[in-house]
Amino acid sequence: MAIELGLNEEQSMLKTMARDFLATETPKTFVREMMDDEVGHSPELWKKMAELGWQGLVFPEEYGGASMNFRDLTILCEEMGRAVMPGPFYSTVILVGLPILDFGSDEQKAEFLPKIANGEIVCTLAALEESGDLWADDLHFRALPRGDGYALSGTKMFVTDAKAADYMLVAARTRRTQNPEDGITLFMVNAKEWGIYMDNMTVMDLTRKQYAVRFTDVPVSASNIIGELHGGWPILQQIAFKASAVLSAEMVGVGEMAMEMTVAYLKDRMQFGVVIGTFQALKHKAADMYAAMEYSRSLMEWAAECVKENDRDAPMAVSMAKSYCGDSVKFVTDAGVQLHGGIGFTWDHDMHLYFKRGRYNDTAFGDGNYHKEVIARQLEANLM
Amino acid sequence: MVSSEPEKLEALREEVRAFLRENLPQKWGTPAYEPLEAGSEEQIALSKSFTKKLYDAGYTAFGIPAAYGGIERPPQEIAVIREELRRQGTPFPFVGLGRLVVDTLLQWGTEEQKKRFIPPILRGEVYWIEGFSEPNAGSDLAGVQTTAVRDGDEWIINGQKCWTSGWDYGEWGFFLCRTDVNAPRHRNLSFFLFDCSTPGFSRRPLRQMTGEAHAQYGELFFDDMRVPHENMIGEEGRGWYVAMTTLIAERGGGQVSAASGETGGMGLGLFGARTIGGVDSLIELAKKTKHYGQTAWDDSSFRGRIAQIAIENEAMRAYGMRLGKMIMSGSASGNEASMAKLTWTEQGKRRGDMVCEIIGAYSQLMRGDSRAVDGGDLVYGMLMTRGTTIFMGTSEICRNILAERILGLPRQ
């Protein structure tokens, strides 16, 4: 199957619709309101998105979804990045909805997917611990057998949108063997259970809230295990894989918007009696920003297509997109602040929202350096 | 869709594979293959014969009307052919700068000019050279000083061109010169094709910093050289705009490049050094080179930089796919090619520098020293990359083009 880049007619319509909707529903006044809000989730917006079919975009129709594909989903997420949209869409759909669709039992899919699709519930993933890395050896959080089920104890960190969540997909250690990747199990846990304590983390990117979540003997039924007992690690890897493609799409939206804002400013701002875009030092930086975003888009589209087609290049493509988009979004938003001068350093200007959202997306599931190491190993293996 | 179509495409795929097995040089695609020196006699001879074979087999000349020798095939067949050519790393099938002439003529040529010049180029019969840069007109190309004065049905040309690649093999060339000394800038130039055997034309080598005896670039001299008026491309005084089409094609953004899936300047060099190198050779080099007790490949800074080159190669490839689509659908301005040119040349420099860092003290040894790594080719390649960011529009000019013509920032 040949990989095709660019958008078809239906996808262009989806993109336009998303851009229009977000322009109306999530203007910067709304984004800033959510930044100041402790939970950062608007149930009204959530409901409206569900009416458009966004949460269930890639779910089959039998689960209340729209049966669209992964590439379509990345188009939506790109627009969300462009709008620096706050709220738990990423946490719910990408981090929990997709793994339930891919690994859940028929009963679990029937239980959770329609509720996600119709906007009834918010979910999130609780996987990381003290190291902040998705690394099997760092996963100590315990699930001990109790009665017919398990009891969860430990602290999860960097849990996005936990206060808005109705359910958390929790990665816990159910046994410890020589192989740290063995003995990890994923549980779907009611976030309102007794014994769950949430502590706000004071984060840089306020459009995506994060929490340290402490569990003390929280009971969970064995029927809420997603995938196999002790077999959660490959699922976590699959979550990281798809989330990386989605985060790359968001970064394309974030970076392109930061670039467009900057180019508009260069055409408007006067100094020394001329618009500053006349100066080559600034022009050349703008040209480099443009190139960085064009290549980011190219890699992201390639990666998203590979994921959609289940192409054998998909792991390499996703790591390349994640690394390059992360490096680019950091470069472009940094240049965005710099080229705006003093106004770009203020809280009131929107550039820092893009700068910070870019940083979140770059860090999550491995930054550029991490993915370059993954790529280097893969390249070496391909040589053998 | 007829049901036999997939089988037909598979049969075509087999046919292309068999063709390539038979016609690519021995050891092609293996580390044992030794690329021919760009601009050497052997390379040009091989390029010509291979171009002809590819054309006769119907594997090139897509996107060009059949009236001018173009080959028409259903898009699915073109996709299969491209895929197979690409899989074998088959070189871009044009000799010299002929493909630039094709793009230029398609847009600006008269019916007669197109019929006369395009078919021999597609068959690989003529080596074309370029006469744009002058000693006093580099980045400021519109400032060329070579003049043409009309005399009946002919023009009399006087002046000098420099940095002409393949200068000594050129059979035909194109150049830009002043036809009106009074007209305003950008409106005073015309574009001509000329036969290199015309009296009054001479050439000599330009020795470059790489130091080799056989110069890749040369200087062209026009001393009362007479060119027939019918060789003028586009209108008199509009040569600047004609040259823009040529430059876009040169940077990899032309229709010919798009139709053969080689957008972004990746396909230059036919059986010579490949413009964009894969990373396999870099990894092998890093794995066998030790410094201070560990191999370069064990050094995470090298691993990261090699991975970055692999990423950029894929980014350029994916961008090329998008650009090709944009060119074919008419939504590209052509200026996008400046980005591709900027990227692959700047990357080439970084790659060359990294290679030198990997080989350490041996990066001082040039061709001719028996101790040099890879016979000195690596260091030679690093020096060559210094030219790439200057020719075909310097990196700075490319950035100006992106900023002004794509992002719409004001000119100075």
- Domains plus CATH for chain B? 5-95 (no CATH), 127-246 (2.40.110.10), 276-406 (1.20.140.10)
The architecture CATH gives domain A9-121 = Orthogonal Bundle (1.10)
pLDDT digit string, tens, across residues A201-230: 999 999 999 999 999 999 999 999 999 999
Q: How sure is the predictor about B273, in pLDDT bands with cuts at 50, 70 and 90?
A: very low
Average pLDDT, chain A: 97
> Above 70 in pLDDT, residue B156?
yes
pLDDT (0 to 100) of residue B262? 62
> Above 50 in pLDDT, residue A359?
yes
A5 reaches B (C-beta below 8 A): yes
> What kind of fold does domain A234-383 have according to CATH?
Butyryl-CoA Dehydrogenase, subunit A; domain 3 (1.20.140)
pLDDT (0 to 100) of residue B374? 87
pLDDT digit string, tens, across residues B70-109: 999 988 888 888 888 877 777 777 777 888 999 999 999 9
Which one is predicted more confidently, B275 or A287? A287
Which one is predicted more confidently, B228 or B316? B228
pLDDT (0 to 100) of residue B263? 57
> Above 70 in pLDDT, residue A18?
yes
A335 reaches B (C-beta below 8 A): no
A6 reaches B (C-beta below 8 A): yes
A264 reaches B (C-beta below 8 A): no
Could you tell me which residues of chain B have a Cβ less than 8 Å from any Cβ in chain A?
Answer: 79, 83, 279-280, 283-284, 297, 300, 303-304, 306-308, 310-312, 314-316, 318-319, 321-322, 325, 336, 339, 342-343, 396, 398-400, 402-404, 406-412
Q: How sure is the predictor about B213, in pLDDT bands with cuts at 50, 70 and 90?
A: confident
Mean pLDDT of B390-399: 92
Query: Using CB atoms, which residue from A278, A287, A298 is nearest to B315?
Result: A298
pLDDT digit string, tens, across residues A146-194: 999 999 999 999 999 999 999 999 999 999 999 999 999 999 999 999 9
> Above 50 in pLDDT, residue B244?
yes
* ipTM, two decimals: 0.90
Mean pLDDT of B227-249: 95
Active site residues of B: 250
Q: How sure is the predictor about B341, in pLDDT bands with cuts at 50, 70 and 90?
A: confident
The distance of A347 to chain B (nearest Cα, Å) reads 27
Report whether CATH 3.40.1410.10 matches the domain A125-231: no
pLDDT (0 to 100) of residue B196? 97
User: Considering only A7-16, B242-251, B301-310, B330-339, which range has the smallest mean pLDDT?
Assistant: B330-339
pLDDT (0 to 100) of residue B41? 82
Verify whether the Cβ–Cβ distance B400 to A286 is below 8 Å.
Answer: no
- Domain ranges in chain A are 9-121, 125-231, 234-383
3-state secondary structure chain B: CCCCHHHHHHHHHHHHHHHHHHHCCCCCCCCCCCCCCCCCHHHHHHHHHHHHHHHHHCCCCCCCCHHHCCCCCCHHHHHHHHHHHHHCCCCCCCCECHHHHHHHHHHHCCHHHHHHHHHHHHCCCCCEEEECCECCECCCHHHCCCEEEEECCEEEEEEEEEEEECCCCCCEEEEEEECCCCCCCCCCEEEEEEECCCCCEEEEEECCCCCCCCCCEEEEEEEEEEEEHHHEECCCCEHHHHHHHHHHHHCCCCHHHHHCCCCCCCCCCCCCCCCCCCCHHHHHHHHHCEECCEEHHHCHHHHHHHHHHHHHHHHHHHHHHHHHHHHHHCCCCCCHHHHHHHHHHHHHHHHHHHHHHHHHHHHHCCCCCCCCHHHHHHHHHHHHHHHHCCCCCCHHHHHHHHHHHHCCCCCC
Verify whether the Cβ–Cβ distance B304 to A287 is below 8 Å.
Answer: no
